[in-house]
Amino acid sequence: MLSGNMPIFVLKEGTQREQGKNAQKNNIEAAKAIADAIRTTLGPKGMDKMLVDSIGDIIISNDGATILKEMDVDHPTAKMIVEVAKSQDTAVGDGTTSAVILAGELLKQAEALLEQGVHSTVITNGYRLAVNEAKKQLENSSVKATDDATLRKISMTALSGKNSSLSSDFLSSLVVKAVNAVAEERNGKTIVDTANIKVDKKNGGGVSDTQFINGLVIDKEKVHAKMPSTVKDPKIALIDSALEIKKTEIEAKVQITDPSKIQGFLTQESDTFKTMVEKIKKSGANVVLCQKGIDDIAQHYLAKEGIYAVRRVKKSDMEKLAKATGAKIVTNLDDLTADSLGKAEKVEEKKISDDRMTFITGCANPKAVSILIRGGTEHVVSEIERSLNDAIRVVAITKEDGRLLPGGGAIEAELAMKIRAFANTVGGREQLAIEAFARALEIIPRTLAENAGMDPINTLIQLKAEHEKGHSSYGIDFEQNKVGDMNKVGVVDPLQVKKHALESAVEVSTMILRIDDVIASRKSSGGESPGGMPGGMGGMGGMPY
């Protein structure tokens, strides 16, 4: 026991600390700042951001996840908001901007309640009640559709507002083709593994030169000039071992003392490669795709036999090639048989921009396909790549789940109305938080209207009036710059995207609201700190026992 009025030093002198309302206020301000930074990018008429790093490299994008990932964020709470975007992008591929904006607005509405004396626990309870009700309403409002026309609408909605929007109709058809190609039925369910869609990019040409390949594109050229540039009806061998003489595990040196033995040594080496190529030829293969190296002598014999060969193909590409062509990846050339070979209509080397690439096309039933993006500059093709990846993910989710909702802020306006009605049935102080949740939802249609140059207040009033009449699919028609029926204009979103955005936004905002103390911790060294506690706080810096 410590006696008298002797002070107890819990934290080291000079330790940074924010407590109580000040901590909450600073956390909320940081979250709002992140949300405001990307708010202008929302919707088909959203603006782009230019991100410039320390060495002058630039990224131009209006994809929320990309912007937040590249931003130099220092505040710990702001980093939590960035994690929302990453989580949304990883889970469903789209809706990152909406999730972050919604999280920022939930905290802004909570700030007003905190100032009125409502406890943060009451607010978080109210938000949880509201989000559970919102998810039920989303399920009730969703409709099922997985036809190609609907999938194209989903893709076009995901591409709208991106640099690719001018070609969204053309690109959407490529996305739907790719997703349909790799979709599989398992136990009565449709499964789409988007990792089987290979998206490559090359500068040069226009966006309209982007193409879907019913097979794979490999960013590699043939290894020998005398090999054929085109092979029709190829028999494809996938080899994941090197067509080289292996080095010994320990350092070794061959010393030849008799000059007459030199030729014999070289002949033996040459015969080894000749045997390798004969094994490949015997299997019937006329195209070899090798994961590792191919020796110069082996290249010569392969070219002599008219076999097209590519070396150092990435492992991920080898796996996709197996799915596309039906070939089996072999490690030992003795295992290479006619049954292990893959098929396609054509393998050819093409010059794309300044590079030569190998195209494996016309696969009968490929479970891995490619999209080759073209565009005028590196920044254009990079942004189209990001847009296409988002579109592929949302189309894949819709193909699997099949549940759709009207876009253009329609579902948020409908939810706001339903949540207000729900608040009246709850009562108590939680009712205030549920009403705040409903107001926060309106930030989506409001922001969409602002970014389209419309009057946000008038637009919200019109939206509310239409939804009160029972027009649940009415949102913002960006073609006409007015309130209209989203189902008629074909603006739809997957249920999973909206549901995940709501859940992520509520989870992070309730977590931030429950923080009332921010303390600078000791940097973790990965092991036990000197204070006796593992990790960061070091036993609270001299706390008495």
Residue numbers annotated as active site: 63, 96-97, 390
**Side-chain half-sphere CA neighbours of 39 within 13 A:** 19
**Pairing label, strands 235-239, 287-290:** parallel
CA distance 302 to 281: 9
- CB-CB contact of 474 with 482 (8 Å): no
**Pairing label, strands 517-519, 17-19:** antiparallel
**Structure-token pair, residue 6:** 């002797």
CA distance 220 to 217: 9
Helices (H), ranges, 40-95: 64-70, 76-91
* Short-list 104, 143, 97, CA closest to 390: 97
**Structure-token pair, residue 60:** 């131009």
Q: How far apart are the first and last CA of the chain?
A: 9
Orientation angle between helical segments 96-115 and 20-39, nearest 10 degrees: 150
* Partner residues linked to 492 by β-bridges: 406
* Partner residues linked to 309 by β-bridges: 288
Helix or strand (DSSP H, E) at 185: strand 184-186
CA distance 115 to 119: 9
Q: What are the C-alpha distances in Å from 398 to residues 7, 191, 404, 491?
A: 62, 11, 7, 14
CA distance 39 to 513: 21
Sorted by sequence, the CB contacts under 8 Å of residue 273 that are 6+ apart come out as 243, 245, 295, 297, 298, 301
Orientation angle between helical segments 96-115 and 430-441, nearest 10 degrees: 140
Helix, strand or coil for residue 94?
coil
**Pairing label, strands 308-310, 230-232:** unpaired
CA distance 450 to 430: 31
Helix, strand or coil for residue 511?
helix
Q: What single string gives the DSSP state of each residue in 447-467?
A: HHHHHTT--HHHHHHHHHHHH
For the chain, what is the total number of helices (H) and then of strands (E)? 17, 23
* 345: DSSP letter: S
CA distance 138 to 452: 26
